[in-house]
Structures are given as structure tokens and as C-alpha cells.
A and B are shown apart, each in its own frame.
Chain A
């Protein structure tokens, strides 16, 4: 479920749309699959794996930015989900539960590999850098100026430049659609820290995309 980008000139005073909700990838039979898997039906669990493997790999890759860690985290996350299926409360969404398990597996590996680059709840200082300068319009649909593979390279290059503190919060909150509270509890930081890091992550990503998207193509 994507929100369309509405040019500001058309709706300068419109009420902002709340940020997108998690994509509705759950199908009608998910509940039945989970119930069957809980009762020991291995093929039902494998169907759940097939359904979410791409998204879970995207998540573990986006957090760890390392192929080996991402693969290990994904395998362990699915295995942990299988082992703890009986603890899953069926009133909640299976995918959200799975995302939190996978995020924890990925975070564990990230912290192990980069122990000095990932802080828990330290305040982020330095507001001066937040204020954008040299602002220029991107024009309509700037992303369509690039082929899909070029765009993928740009986005990967840009997100690689974000520090893990900011990247993890952006991935969980904006790409995976966890709530601010769910993100805080998954990462183990306060809600205020999530909001602060999310703001900076979004502004930094905008700034880094600016060189590719501005109308004069000055990158």
C-alpha cells in the first residue's frame, strides 16, 4: 500500500497523511497456516517461510549490510520462529512477530561485528548539520530518471553511508513499518531516541539523494 507523492503546489495546506502503515502482505490463509504449523505441520511452516523469505532477507541485509551475517540471521530467525511458534499470540500479525525476531538476530550480529559503532541509547548531538542548505527542486518523478538497477545501486550506496544507529531505526520504522514503540523495544532504546534518530536518518538520506535527483543533475 503506497502513498502517492503529491506535489506540494497542488496541496500546500493539506493535512499530512500519517506515515504509511505496514504493507498488507498477510493473506487470508495466514491464520490457518500458523495454526497448522503450530500443530506440527512442517509444510505449512515452509509455506510461511516462502511467503516472507524475501522480505526477511531484505531486513537482515539492510541492518547488517553483510551477506554472510544477513543469511545467518535469516536462517536463525526462521528457526527461532519455528521453535517458539507456540508462544506466538494469534491475535497479532505473524509477519510483525517475525520481523522483530529477525531484527534481533540481525542486530546481534551487527553489534558483534561493529561493537564500537553501535550505541544503545546515547543522545545524538549536533543539530546544526540537520538544516538543509542549497535547496533545489527535484522535478516530477526524479527516481524515474534511473533504470531499476541504477536505482538499486544508488539506494544501496546511500544507505551504506548512514551510521548503523540511524540506519537500523530507519529500516525498522520506515521500510518495515514497525511503530515507534515497537522499534524502540526491538532496538532497546527510548521512544525519544527513535524519533531523534529517525528524523536525522530521513534528513540525511534526503540530502544524499539530492545529488542524484536535483533537476540540474549536478552529481
Chain B
């Protein structure tokens, strides 16, 4: 299996979305190819960093406007 073929399957590999034959072929390649192993590890870490990060905060004024707007619109909807 070539490095290019492994890279094309990285997503499916990380998601556990490969059949056994292909997964084993990738793992055989990874055992001898440090570069591909590094890319897979870094891709997985990239996903984890984004998942675990607090990259967007809800500003207090936005939160306040949300609740005010919802209360107003919910009351209007009930009339």
C-alpha cells in the first residue's frame, strides 16, 4: 500500500469505518512508515483539540438578548 493510498483512507481509519482487510493493510504500512503514522496521530490530535477547545464564548450581552427575545416571542406565540 502506498503512502498516498493511506492518506486517502485516514478519515475512514480514524472513524473505524474500514473493512478488516483494508485496516490491516494500513496497519502493516504504518508499522514501517513513520511519516504516515505521524500524520495519522497529528490528524487525530487536530480533531481532539478542536473538540476540547473553548474557541467560541457566548458573550453576556448576546445571552441576555437571547433570553429577552425568546421570552417576548414565546409570549406573543401563546396569545
Contacts and interface: CB of A to CB of B under 8 A. Distances in A.
Interface in A11-56: 12-13, 15-20, 40, 42, 45-46, 49, 53-54
Given A42-B74, A53-B58, A155-B55, A19 B38 contact: no
A127 B74 contact: no
Q: What's the dominant secondary structure at chain A's contact region?
A: helix
Contacts of A82: 70, 73-74, 77
A209 B31 CA distance: 25
Interface residues of A, number: 62
A5 B74 contact: no
A204 B52 CA distance: 19
B46 A20 contact: no
A203 interface: yes
A156 B65 CA distance: 24
Contact of A2 (B23, B39, B52): B52
Given A12-B37, A17-B16, A58 B55 contact: yes
A159 interface: yes
B25 interface: no
A141 B13 CA distance: 22
Contacts of B62: 57, 67, 71, 74
A205 B56 CA distance: 17
B33 to A, nearest CB: 10
Contact of A210 (B42, B48, B52): B42
A203 B13 CA distance: 13
A204 B38 CA distance: 15
Given A2-B51, A58-B55, A210-B42, A12 B31 contact: yes
Interface of A: 2-3, 5, 7-8, 12-13, 15-20, 40, 42, 45-46, 49, 53-54, 57-58, 61-62, 67, 71, 74-75, 78-79, 82-83, 127, 130-132, 135-138, 142-143, 148, 151-152, 155-156, 159, 170, 174-175, 180, 195, 198-199, 202-203, 205-206, 209-210, 213
